[in-house]
């Protein structure tokens, strides 16, 4: 299923994450961005339209409201203890000039506050 409403920066995001799409990457992180404890986090990168459509199935209100409607989802995040459940999603934020920042959403927190924002994918070791 694909989202039928592509966003202006979907193509920019696809180019940026092209080497990562379809890959599963594991990173040991402190967990703060994900409202979680330190853990080994698993990142599943996907086409933004596909991931947006998946998110819209469970989070329709959130995904189509500001600021999320302007951001581009690029990865789902899980942890080994809960591989069957995503604990967060990584969005690219292109609203400011320059490289995109990342913003994290969790099932319980769609605030997009500064505690859920980082400089870019490199801040996650990706």
Token reading at 54: 């998946």
**Burial, 6: exposed, middle or buried (Cβ in 10 Å; 0-12, 13-18, 19+)?**
middle
Q: What is the pLDDT of residues 99-124, one digit of tens each?
A: 999 999 999 999 888 888 999 999 99
pLDDT at 36: 86
Q: What is this structure's pTM?
A: 0.91
The 10 Å CB-count burial string (b at 16+, else e) for 72-93 is bbbbbbbbeeeeeebbbbbbbb
Q: Please tell me the predicted confidence (pLDDT) of residue 5.
A: 62
CA distances to 51, 52, 63, 73 from 3, in Å: 8, 6, 11, 11
Cβ distance 88 to 79 under 8 Å? no
Q: CB-hemisphere CA count at 13 Å for 59?
A: 21
Q: Extract the residue ranges of the chain whose pLDDT is less than 70.
A: 1-6
Domain residues of the chain, as ranges? 10-121
């Amino acid at each position: 299923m694909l989202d039928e409403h592509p966003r202006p920066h979907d193509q920019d995001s696809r180019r940026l994450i092209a080497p990562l799409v379809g890959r599963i990457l594991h990173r040991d992180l402190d967990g703060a961005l994900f409202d979680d404890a330190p853990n080994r986090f698993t990142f599943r990168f996907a086409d933004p339209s596909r991931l947006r459509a998946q998110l819209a199935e469970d989070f329709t209100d959130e995904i189509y409201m500001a600021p999320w409607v302007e951001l581009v989802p690029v990865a789902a995040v899980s942890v080994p203890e809960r591989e069957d459940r995503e604990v967060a999603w990584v969005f690219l934020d292109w609203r400011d000039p320059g490289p995109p920042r990342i913003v994290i959403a969790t099932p319980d927190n769609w605030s997009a506050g500064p505690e859920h924002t980082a400089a870019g994918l490199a801040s996650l070791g990706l």
